[in-house]
Amino acid sequence: MQKFTVHKGLVAPMDRANVDTDAIIPKQFLKSIRRIGFGQNLFDAWRYLDEGQPGQDCSNRPINRDFVLNQSRYKGASILIARKNFGCGSSREHAPWALGEYGFRAIIAPSYGDIFFNNSLKNGLLPITLDETKVDRLFSEAAPFPGYALEINLEAQVVIKPDGDSYHFDVEPFSKYCLLNGFDDIGLTLRHAATIRAFEEKRKIEQPWLFT
Amino acid sequence: MIQQTLYDKLWASHAVRAEDDGTTLLYIDRHLVHEVTSPQAYEGLKVAGRRVWRKDSVVATADHNTPTDHWEEGIKDPISRLQVETLDANIKEYGAKVFFPFLDKRQGIVHVIGPENGFTLPGMTVVCGDSHTSTHGAFGCLAYGVGTSEVEHVLATQTLLAKKMQNMLVLVEGDIPRGVTGKDIALAVVRRIGTAGGTGCAVEFAGSAIRALSMEGRMTLCNMAIEAGARAGMVAVDDVTIDYLKGRPDAPIGATWDRAVAHWRTLQSDPGSKFDRVVQIDARELKPHVTWGTSPEMVVTIDDRVPDPDKEKDPVRREGMERALVYMGLEPNTAIRDIRIDKVFIGSCTNSRIEDLRAAAGVVRGRRKAANVKLVLVVPGSGQVKLQAEKEGLDRIFKDAGFEWREPGCSMCLGMNADRLEPGERCASTSNRNFEGRQGTGGRTHLVSPAMAAAAGVAGYFVDVRELR
């Protein structure tokens, strides 16, 4: 997993609530058996005017000029500010894969779909939760200033604004540890293989019908 | 002794070890695998040179990409075919307890085949790379959807890293009126608490109305817990659970059955156990529900009208409503009964079980598809559901009405196969999500129960099943 320590980047706004994972990456792209190639289809149905197909060359597709990420001022954005319940819906990890490949390293929203939140953490994409008032303020501060950027310091758990003001955010210590170090959690878990094995042996005796 | 909820008990009995911050290694008993969210996980195992920890925990099938007609012609879309063949190859290499590949007579939607074969048993932790894994909570299981990294983690370690969720109780008391189903209860819950209402929670559904539901109804309800934001939904074990399981192919037998049942009966929340949140619903006041927008919380009853955004004070919500109305091609204040439909989909992990098909057939018997309805797809949840329905003659009822009787799979719930809505088409669907583009780019979905979907197919617009004779 890609490490996350300190990141400073251009902010793009996604000003709608309940953005679901079907919108983040539509189902036709889930047919891929690879982990890469989803960035060009992020928000496909909103971003382009035609219907996207997997494996297609997107460079000549008609662009929806009204879609926020297509505005030139947001080119190269790496921090997405969003409304409540971002990433609700399906469990597809293709959603954080697509966001990451597009160039996003962090999202700031009042709340997330639980599965999306987890999936993001496993992919070095930092989902930051701030209360609605603060997110609202970020939306209104970012709007009039092309080039509006934020700095995120995971170690210190702060989002630093251009005016120097900062917002503290919470993150689970274990997730933070994995993100800061870019750890693959399977490797960490397998250090406890003997404990898992012992638990399993006990379970086999207590509930043998689970092991047929 | 501290009173424990059902979720507390399931959590405690699967906790292998915990970090200081409460991050816990949770032991996983059953791992359901399908073709869409597993290829990258198996590839990860391969790259790291890891093996599958416990093959006999894995139950696999192909369901999302499989066609629902002309099986003899195979899977025509080469990208879909490759994904299904990749699952075949991965299961061959890494093993599974059982695998029902494309064309197998027991193939079907992963959340249908688990319970019907007894692969889902009370007290289990059940995971799958699919958000509708919450379905299995109907059996007193802790069941939830995970992403592909977690699929790989479970394959490699038989555990998941998890933090304990909050306990939410949804208490539904009273007799359920005729024409109201588990689907309507689910939609009523989403309407009440919203699509983020259950975020961070494990929800237990309880009360006399829940106890009165069949296992099929409970599965429909738990299936849609995720639409209320809750990863896991669950129902305590009772006689209905145990009667359903008895004699299932993989259920224990003999003395082991008796021992298992004695344990399963303990899978209840203790009297007086504490929930972080309680939501109460009066079943007697429930009516058939119909969604009007692009989120499951955008839902009203058959007696209602499409809401008017001008009456919504919250600007973010109002904008969401306005956008949804444009997408859905609807005017505010339109009576739900005046909405004409183009297609009907009866199927999905929410509503494709035998009871669902019986309910739909009960409405259709002796009637015909309306002239303005282009297509009614009836897609059984599994090969076994299909066989049972055909034994009961339900397929004839559907075909006589001009409905299409198809092969099992996920089908037009998400349209990864060829079953899709065309742009602008309006569909009465028994599935679980009315998101933009969910059933096909530009398609418009209205979520309803099987009987309501069948009735709409016959009338050509939404009608109240309670008024049908």
What local confidence, expressed as pLDDT, does residue A184 receive? 83
Six token digits for residue B469: 């004779």
3-class secondary-structure state, position B144 = strand
User: Among A79, A132, A86, which residue's Cα sits nearest to residue A107?
Assistant: A79
Contact A83, A15 (CB under 8 A): yes
Cα–Cα distance measured from residue B247 to residue B257, given in angstroms and rounded to the nearest whole number:
10
Written as one letter, the residue type at B218 is R
- In this prediction the ipTM stands at 0.96
Six token digits for residue A149: 């950027």
- Kindly report, residue by residue over B153-164, the tens digit of the pLDDT: 999 999 999 999
C-beta atoms of B260 and A88 within 8 A:
no
pLDDT > 80? residue A42: yes
What local confidence, expressed as pLDDT, does residue B464 receive? 97
Cα–Cα distance measured from residue B288 to residue B303, given in angstroms and rounded to the nearest whole number:
9
C-beta atoms of A118 and B146 within 8 A:
yes
Cα–Cα distance measured from residue A70 to residue B67, given in angstroms and rounded to the nearest whole number:
36
What's CA A81's distance to the chain center, in Å? 11
Cα–Cα distance measured from residue B144 to residue B327, given in angstroms and rounded to the nearest whole number:
31
CB < 8 Å to A203, chain B: 27
Distance between B174 CA and the closest CA of chain A, angstroms: 30
- Kindly report, residue by residue over A46-66, the tens digit of the pLDDT: 999 999 999 899 999 999 999
**Phi and psi angles of residue A112, each rounded to the nearest 5 degrees, phi first:** -135, 160
What local confidence, expressed as pLDDT, does residue A191 receive? 96
DSSP state of B75: -
CB within 8 Å of A111: residues ≥ 6 apart: A84, A85, A86, A129, B196, B199
| Range 413-452 of B in CB contact (< 8 A) with A | 414-416, 433, 435-438, 441
Decide if B62 touches A, using CB distance below 8 A: no
CB within 8 Å of A33: residues ≥ 6 apart: B39, B40, B43, B82, B83, B86
Pseudo-torsion of CA B431, A30, A119, A108, nearest 10°? -90
Decide if B229 touches A, using CB distance below 8 A: yes
CB < 8 Å to A174, chain B: 19, 21, 23, 161
| Range 354-373 of B in CB contact (< 8 A) with A | none
Contact A50, A62 (CB under 8 A): yes
C-beta atoms of A26 and B147 within 8 A:
no
Provide the residue-wise pLDDT of chain B in tens; the chain has 469 residues: 789 999 999 999 999 999 998 999 999 999 999 999 999 999 999 999 999 999 999 999 999 999 999 999 999 999 999 999 999 999 999 999 999 999 999 999 999 999 999 999 999 999 999 999 999 999 999 999 999 999 999 999 999 999 999 999 999 999 999 999 999 999 999 999 999 999 999 999 999 999 999 999 999 999 999 999 999 999 999 999 999 999 999 999 999 999 999 999 999 999 999 999 999 999 999 999 999 999 999 999 999 999 999 999 999 899 999 999 999 999 999 999 999 999 999 999 999 999 999 999 999 999 999 999 999 999 999 999 999 999 999 999 999 999 999 999 999 999 999 999 999 999 999 999 999 999 999 999 999 999 999 999 999 999 999 998 7
Q: Which of A91, A111, A172 sits opposite B147 (nearest CB)?
A: A91
CB < 8 Å to B199, chain A: 85, 111-114
Cα–Cα distance measured from residue B204 to residue B222, given in angstroms and rounded to the nearest whole number:
9
What local confidence, expressed as pLDDT, does residue A170 receive? 98
Distance between B157 CA and the closest CA of chain A, angstroms: 7
Return the H-helix or E-strand segment holding B277. Answer: strand B277-282
CB < 8 Å to A210, chain B: 29, 121, 124
Six token digits for residue A123: 């992919």
CATH 3.20.19.10 in chain A is located at 6-181
C-beta atoms of B21 and A16 within 8 A:
no
Residues of chain B by 3-state class (helix, strand, coil), percent to 5: 40, 20, 45
Cα–Cα distance measured from residue B84 to residue B101, given in angstroms and rounded to the nearest whole number:
8
Q: Residues A28-39: what's their mean pLDDT?
A: 96
Cα–Cα distance measured from residue B170 to residue B157, given in angstroms and rounded to the nearest whole number:
33
B199, B263, B445: which to substitute to probe chain A, counting the most A Cβ within 10 Å?
B199
B31, B132, B141, B157: which to substitute to probe chain A, counting the most A Cβ within 10 Å?
B157
Cα–Cα distance measured from residue B131 to residue A47, given in angstroms and rounded to the nearest whole number:
25
Distance between A212 CA and the closest CA of chain B, angstroms: 7
pLDDT > 90? residue A1: no
Pseudo-torsion of CA B359, B364, B365, B370, nearest 10°? 180
Distance between B238 CA and the closest CA of chain A, angstroms: 19
Distances in Å between the Cα of A63 and the Cα atoms of A19, A58, A70, A74, B326 are: 20, 10, 8, 15, 20
Written as one letter, the residue type at B213 is L
Distance between A8 CA and the closest CA of chain B, angstroms: 27
- Kindly report, residue by residue over A76-88, the tens digit of the pLDDT: 999 999 999 999 9
Identify the bridge partners of residue B343 per DSSP, sorted by sequence position.
B375, B427
Residue A183: count other Cβ atoms within 10 Å of its Cβ: 14
CB < 8 Å to B67, chain A: none
C-beta atoms of A22 and B123 within 8 A:
no
pTM listed for this prediction? 0.97
Pseudo-torsion of CA A161, A165, A168, A174, nearest 10°? 50
Distance between B199 CA and the closest CA of chain A, angstroms: 6
Residue B150 C-beta-side C-alpha neighbours within 13 Å: 31
C-beta atoms of A33 and B29 within 8 A:
no
Cα–Cα distance measured from residue A171 to residue A177, given in angstroms and rounded to the nearest whole number:
10
Distances in Å between the Cα of B101 and the Cα atoms of B60, B61, B385 are: 8, 5, 16
Written as one letter, the residue type at B318 is R
Written as one letter, the residue type at A71 is Q
What local confidence, expressed as pLDDT, does residue B358 receive? 98
Distance between A154 CA and the closest CA of chain B, angstroms: 17
- Kindly report, residue by residue over A87-102, the tens digit of the pLDDT: 999 999 999 999 999 9
C-beta atoms of A91 and B163 within 8 A:
no
Q: Domain A6-181: give its CATH code.
A: 3.20.19.10
CB < 8 Å to A27, chain B: 414-416, 437-438
Cα–Cα distance measured from residue B262 to residue B255, given in angstroms and rounded to the nearest whole number:
11
Minimal-distance CA residue of chain A relative to B122 = A210
Written as one letter, the residue type at B376 is V
What local confidence, expressed as pLDDT, does residue B468 receive? 85
**Phi and psi angles of residue B368, each rounded to the nearest 5 degrees, phi first:** -125, 155
Six token digits for residue B307: 């809401």
Six token digits for residue A82: 């969003």
Cα–Cα distance measured from residue A154 to residue A178, given in angstroms and rounded to the nearest whole number:
11
The three state secondary structure string of B174-204 is CCCCCCCCHHHHHHHHHHHHCCCCCCCEEEE
What's CA A31's distance to the chain center, in Å? 20
C-beta atoms of B438 and A200 within 8 A:
no
C-beta atoms of B161 and A185 within 8 A:
yes
Distances in Å between the Cα of B383 and the Cα atoms of A35, A129, B114 are: 32, 44, 13
Q: Residues A199-206: what's their mean pLDDT?
A: 98
